Amino acid sequence: MSLTNLFSLEGKKIAYSGATGVLGTTMSKHLADQGAEVLIIGRTPEKVNQLVNEINASGGKAFGYFADVTDEESLEKAAKIIESQHGHIDVLINSAGGNMPGAVIRPDQNFLDLDTASLRKVIDLNYLGTVLPIKVLLPLMLKQNKGNILNISSMAATRPMTRVMGYASAKAAIDNLTKWLSVELAQKHGPEFRVNAIAPGFFLTEQNRTLLTESDGSLTQRGNQIKTHTPMNRFGKPEDLLGTLQWLCSDASAFVTGTIIPLDGGFSAYSGV
């Protein structure tokens, strides 16, 4: 098999939750450019429709479905429509996630200031927002006895950052889920089921922009600390994710499962000395 065929995504049906953010938009557009049919799942119709329209206008194939990833019933409704229109899916990408101020411990706070309700919402969004799409959409993979699941983790999962206690805990759970599920599916459903995750380092997104940059575009103290501890001395660009995304979604990674791939400019390798 040629390298072109090995990495091909042509005709693959890829369901993608949480695709309307900065990173997800770039990734979903790339998948469509490579010939995949991208099934965008999101809870905000305006954002979903905008991304679907942009992909289709550029010659790709995208379809929009509306569901809250923390609501199993709404996911089941979307899954029924997907099944009726596409029959099965080949790949599921789970990137819904985020943080809330109440689940952050600011420098002028301590652990006792943690807001339990906010923490619960962060855990629900990042962890259950991955578990439930897998549970609901896995039957669309079982129909053809193979499937590929790609979760989105974070550097915060293995290198707990100050402040983002709730988010880091939730992403650590994603790492554990990825490994556990890779064994579960391979042993009970066969070797053509695999589960992996990518763990982005620091990228400027709408979620963290105010944390890392000032209003004039200069870096905050935290932004400077992160850049200093990244050997490549820069933040990631959305395009930096695409090579690994292509590899993990394609047959080129057919013997890869249970892994969490860091895309962090060397952040996780640097001790600071």
Q: Which two tokens stand for residue 203?
A: 């990228």
Cα distance between residue 40 and residue 28, in whole Å: 8
Residue of 16, 65, 127, 167 marked active site: 167
- Do the Cβ atoms of 202 and 188 come closer than 8 Å? no
- For residue 61, which of 95, 85, 96 has the smallest C-alpha distance? 85
- Do the Cβ atoms of 14 and 26 come closer than 8 Å? no
Strand order in the sheet with 193-200: 61-66, 37-42, 13-17, 91-94, 147-152, 193-200, 260-263
Residues 6+ apart with CB under 8 A from 242: 26, 27, 30
- For residue 95, which of 197, 179, 11 has the smallest C-alpha distance? 197
CA atoms within 13 A on the CB side of 12: 30
Residues 6+ apart with CB under 8 A from 157: 168, 171, 172, 174, 175, 199, 260
* 167 is annotated as an active-site residue: yes
Cα distance between residue 171 and residue 257, in whole Å: 18
Q: Which residues of 40-51 are buried (b: 16+ CB within 10 A; e: fewer)?
A: bbbbeeebbeeb
Cα distance between residue 133 and residue 41, in whole Å: 10
Q: Which residues are catalytic?
A: 167
